[in-house]
Amino acid sequence: MFEPPHPPVHVPTHQISDPTVGVDFFARLIEVSDGTRIKLQLWDTAGQERFRSITRTYYRNSVGALVVFDVCNKKSLEHVPMWIMEAKRHIEPHKAVFILVGTKIDMEDEREVRREDAAALAKFYNISYIETSSMRGVNVEEAFRTITQEVYDKIQSGEFRVEEGWDGIKTGFSRPNHSYPLMEAEPEKSGFCC
């Protein structure tokens, strides 16, 4: 007797997650509009209240912050002002660039936060707003590019200064403070005589 094969068991990938516990660290290269490549050092801090004391340490020397909320969880948007205030209180010496990021836009049926409401909050804080879906790869790179470009523009305008001994912004090369005489290398002697 022939039995049709069982249909494959499918677990929707949006139900599988790897939440941040405490702080995750990673780095990535982003190219800005003039072709300059910028290395970002990113700390993904858990937004839960129980990790709040841990994350305060990571604000120091930051120049940018992606404030991420879940469009399927209205409470997460309601916590955004607290996280922005918390970051502003601990970030120094510059005023950081903030971008509000609404995530999980692929889950439209479960959406609790209207785009207009999130955009209004971003406008209130005078920051950019972008919606993303890491499941579909929508606007994730754009969020990183946007914040990187905004920070880079502040460096170029002099609003953010690259200072000796400060870990917030570093250049990938150092310029010597004094010049060294250039000497031609002497040709190697072969050890053989004519």
pTM of the model: 0.71
Q: Note whether residue 183 is domain-resident.
A: no
Strands 64-70, 128-131: parallel, antiparallel or unpaired by DSSP? unpaired
Q: Is the pLDDT of residue 183 over 80?
A: no
116 lies in which domain range? 62-157
Q: Is residue 191 part of a domain?
A: no
Give the chain's domain count.
1
Q: What is the pLDDT of residues 53-109, one digit of tens each?
A: 655 666 777 888 899 999 999 999 999 999 899 888 888 667 889 999 999 999 999
- Please check whether residue 176 lies inside any domain of the structure: no
CATH of residue 137: 3.40.50.300
Residue 160 or 147, more confident: 147
Contacts of 151 (CB under 8 A, 6+ apart): 38, 63, 64, 97, 160, 169
| Mean of all residue pLDDT scores within the chain | 75
